[in-house]
Chain A
Amino acid sequence: MRETVTLRLAPEVIKAAKRRAQADNRTLTNYIETLMIRDLQGAAPLEVIAPPDIREFEAVPLPGETKAERKRRDALFHALLDKSGR
């Protein structure tokens, strides 16, 4: 038997969540439940906190680093930003 709960959320959060749910073809309830299940299962998405212009930042040369290693570091940086949707 499913339980009914009452949530008190900020209007702008509800508005954004409804938009996201609609884009996913879900109900708001299903969207919230999916997020909760994902979090409870430990499969949290990649969370990247970064300034808006983060992609403009260049790798600082490191002591003893080869060109190939620096290229690899750059590739990883951009791949993580791609994955996080930034």
Chain B
Amino acid sequence: MSPPPFLPGQFVWCRFPFFEAPLSPGEKERIVYVADIRQHPARRVLTVMSLYTTTRTWDADAARPLGIIPVDAAAAARMNQKPFVIDARRIAFVPLDEAFFPRLRTPDAAIVSTAPPAFRSQVENVLARLAGRADLVQQLGPDMPGRRR
């Protein structure tokens, strides 16, 4: 099987499904964060673990629940986007096909941008905390033992 057209840590255009209709693509395309790509060993189909994003900004005064990752204008611009929020509490495993990824056959395969490694680690840590698995949280920063400065 050929390698997937995009990788974890990338933002791509996707028709994120509604909870009530998990098998149908959502009405509108939106940018999602690709957290994982997995394959069924027998059926050889790929599924994309997608995290919901929205450009609706998070009120700075409002309490921020675990799973909400606001991305400010500067960080968003570095990822070729307007300010946005990742809601890591909303996860969809969607088939890697043109129904869910209508731009799959375009030259950039629906990829909007690639997140920097530190951002990717941040998202993984939030997911680990959501899962209640503190043991999976990565310690970040230049002062960690074994980490190059």
Name the interface size band of chain B.
35 or more
B37 x A76 contact (CB < 8 A): no
Shortest C-beta distance, A59 to chain B (Å), equals 6
- In the assembled complex, the CB of A11 is this many whole angstroms from the nearest CB of chain B, namely 16
Other-chain contact of A46, B46, B124, B130 (Cβ < 8 Å): B130
Which chain A residues in 30-86 approach chain B with CB under 8 Å? 41-51, 53-54, 56-60, 62-63, 72-73, 75-77, 79-80, 82-84
Among A42, A53, A57, A76, which residue has its beta carbon within 8 angstroms of that of B131? Answer: A76
Contact partners of B17 in chain A: CB under 8 A: 49
Please, how many angstroms separate the alpha-carbon atoms of A82 and B47 in the complex?
18
Interface contact B91-A80, CB-CB below 8 Å: yes
In the assembled complex, B116 has its CB within 8 A of some CB on chain A: no
In whole angstroms, how far apart are the Cα atoms of A42 and B12 in the complex? 26
Q: Which residues of B contact A51 (CB under 8 A)?
A: 22-23, 47, 93
Residues 1-36 of chain A, each 1 if its beta carbon lies under 8 Å from chain B, else 0: 000000000000000000000000000000000000
- The residue in A49, A75, A77 that gathers the most chain B C-beta atoms within 10 A of its C-beta is A49
Rounded to whole angstroms, the CA-CA distance of A47 and B41 in the bound complex is: 25
Check: B99 CB closer than 8 A to any chain A CB.
no
Q: Which of B87-145 contact A (CB under 8 A)?
A: 89-94, 124, 127-128, 130-133, 136
> Contact between B38 and A49 (Cβ–Cβ < 8 Å)?
no
**Residues in chain B within 8 A of chain A (CB atoms):** 3-4, 7-8, 17, 19, 22-23, 36-42, 46-47, 49, 62-65, 67-68, 89-94, 124, 127-128, 130-133, 136
